[in-house]
Amino acid sequence: MSQILTLIAPAGGLSAPLLARIRSALQELGATAGTPDWLAPEEAADLPFDEFSPEQATAAARAALGDALVDAIAQPAEGRRKRLLLADMDSTIVTSETLDEIAAYAGLKEKIAEITRRSMNGELDFRAALIERVGMLAGLPVSALERTWEATAMTAGAAELVATMRANGAHCVLVSGGFTFFTGRVAERLGFHAHYSNTLLLEDGKLTGRVGEPILDRDAKLATLKRLAAELGLPLSATLTVGDGANDLAMIQAAGLGVAFRAKPVVAAAARARVEHADLRALLFAQGYRAAEIATSY
């Protein structure tokens, strides 16, 4: 069959009866649904189908799932495995918003986090909001960045996502509206081939309150996707992007598989694929990788 619906849940959250219910729902609405193929027992399964578009299948699956903590991603079966990964960092590859965590050392976390929230939901201009937040941190010692890094945690499944795609020949890139101080360290730890982000300007061991130009924003993320795909000789259909904020939406919508990961409402509503319950290994299952194929380190 030409289309695939992948159902993914936290470990142990996907049952055979639930999978059968989704298959029946597709059939009742007029789709042809094939035999489910388990990618990971009680965690991820493929359901091949025809007659429906991916959008119709996703909507039907979500309706049938109800309150079940299961993600549904539908797409063409051909070309599922992507050759280029572009991933956002904050609240995607790492669990936190690093700028908000830096702000804690200035006693401004709550105030700056609110600006971050509104910017990531598309309520504020990203560039202006970034300049404003960084300006509030002028004079903060660089040791605050070091302490923030020490407390930064990788999102579950991030290491497996990069390691598995690298092992299968994909080019993996971190692209962030955050800062090189963190993206360089995350890229080194997880094995990203490259990283692109913004630069916090320092002087005498302290933040100046300014960001280096040019600022990497929504348009720059999309431009990076297009540039790297062209350099690698890949169509955009062979690319995978993932992020959570409004500045990620353009690259999410342009990629062959663009995933809103535990995203802000405006992003989740506009993305064709979203992951709300599973971890980042969901992006591997969506590409058809089986549990036995997933690498844990690069």
Mean pLDDT, rounded, for 78-97: 98
Mean pLDDT, rounded, for 128-136: 96
Domain extents in the chain: 1-78
Please, are residues 229 and 84 in contact by the beta-carbon 8 Å criterion?
Answer: yes
Provide the pLDDT for residue 75: 96
Mean pLDDT, rounded, for 130-152: 97
Residue 45 banded pLDDT, cuts 50, 70, 90: very high
Percent of the chain with pLDDT over 90: 98
State which amino acid sits at residue 86. Answer: L
In this structure, whether the domain defined by 1-78 belongs to CATH 3.30.70.260 is answered with: yes
Q: Which residues are catalytic?
A: 88, 90
For residue 181, pLDDT beyond 90: yes
Mean pLDDT, rounded, for 68-93: 97
Closest CA to 104 of 50, 51, 151: 151
C-alpha torsion sign, points 189, 194, 196, 201: positive
**Is it true that the peptide bond before 17 is cis, omega within 30 degrees of 0?**
no
Provide the pLDDT for residue 206: 97
Percent of the chain with pLDDT over 70: 100
Q: At what angle do helices 143-150 and 180-190 cross, to 10 degrees?
A: 30
Residue 52 banded pLDDT, cuts 50, 70, 90: confident
Provide the pLDDT for residue 297: 86
Please, are residues 279 and 44 in contact by the beta-carbon 8 Å criterion?
Answer: no
What does the block give as tokens for 256?
């062959």
